[in-house]
Amino acid sequence: MIPDLPVGEWVQTAIDWLRLHFGASFDAVAEILRQLLSGVYQLLVLPHALLLTAILAGIAWLTLRGWRAPVATAAGLLLVQAMSLWREMLQSLSVVLVASTVAVAVGVPLGIWAARNGRVRAFARPVLDFMQTMPVFVYLLPAVFFFGIGVVPGVVATTIFAVPPAVRLTELGIRQVDREVVEAAVAFGARPRQILRDVQLPLAVPSIMAGVNQVIMLALSMVVVAGLVGGGGLGAVVVRSITQLDIGRGFEGGLAVVVLAIYLDRVTGALGRRLA
């Protein structure tokens, strides 16, 4: 008969040990994230809603070109304002921007390291597989244990959940660079750092930008789930609507999420194509 393994007790013991010995570090990280979120949110709410709508529509025109993109952007954002969800959308956008920036800052260097080191790549693959197959709600548990209830655990869980595509697509982009191009750079006397900076990274930009796009989309999807632990924003609107059986308000919150998701997806996708 197979003996019972107290895996849950082991995990709880490890978490208690980390909280006991690194509690101050977790508090410092939480404060840094709060300040970052507050700064980004204050920057977003500083201009009038109509002015920010015009700015975002202008960004859509610069990246996508044509008149349809800015018109659709303005219409979608005006709809969000008409539903009285503007501040909630900006809160969610703040979380997405902070979490995506941290995820890219962590994921891209790890992807570069994995592409240039076979052992790191062999270790990273099963870890990334594990992270991508883990149910999204599981990420909230350790985040809540370490950082409590509120927006910070939502940002932490969102960042961890969004890291894998940045690592995978960065590694893939660098490894798919034509070997003949790399060999030509070596023949001209280029050093490894020069090859990475001047040859591999520029040629891998389309794949890296695809990773950035996926990071942002995963971050946005996780932001809604983070509403369960007090993450605020549109996620809180959706969760509150579910608990109160308010179908109309829930539909409005979901519609605002769709507007934000389509905008971010189209803009980042077009930016990646322009940088290619």
Residue type, 160: I
What are the pLDDT digits (tens) for 68-97? 888 999 999 999 999 999 999 999 999 899
Q: How far apart are the first and last CA of the chain?
A: 58
26 has a pLDDT exceeding 70: yes
What's the CATH fold of domain 20-275?
MetI-like fold (1.10.3720)
Q: pTM, whole model, 2 decimals?
A: 0.87
What are the pLDDT digits (tens) for 30-71? 888 889 988 999 999 999 999 999 999 999 998 888 888 889
Residue type, 14: A
Burial of 138 (0-12, 13-18, 19+ CB in 10 A): exposed
The SS3 call for residue 82 is helix
Biggest CA pair distance of the chain: 69
Q: State the pLDDT confidence band at 1, using cuts at 50, 70 and 90.
A: low
Q: What percent of the chain has pLDDT over 70?
A: 98
What are the pLDDT digits (tens) for 194-246? 888 888 888 888 888 888 888 988 888 887 777 777 777 888 888 888 888 88
Token pair for 70: 């800015």
Token pair for 226: 């983070």
What are the pLDDT digits (tens) for 99-147? 899 999 999 999 999 988 889 888 988 888 888 888 777 778 778 878 8
Domain ranges of the chain: 20-275
Token pair for 239: 């969760």
Q: What are the φ and ψ backbone dihedral angles of 148, each rounded to 5 degrees?
A: 80, -170
Residue 84: Cβ within 10 Å count: 10
Listed residue (238, 253, 227, 100) closest to 154, CA to CA: 227
With the CA atoms of 129, 132, 135 and 141 taken in that order, what torsion angle do they form, in degrees rounded to the nearest 10?
Answer: 90
Token pair for 30: 């939480």
| Mean pLDDT across the chain | 85
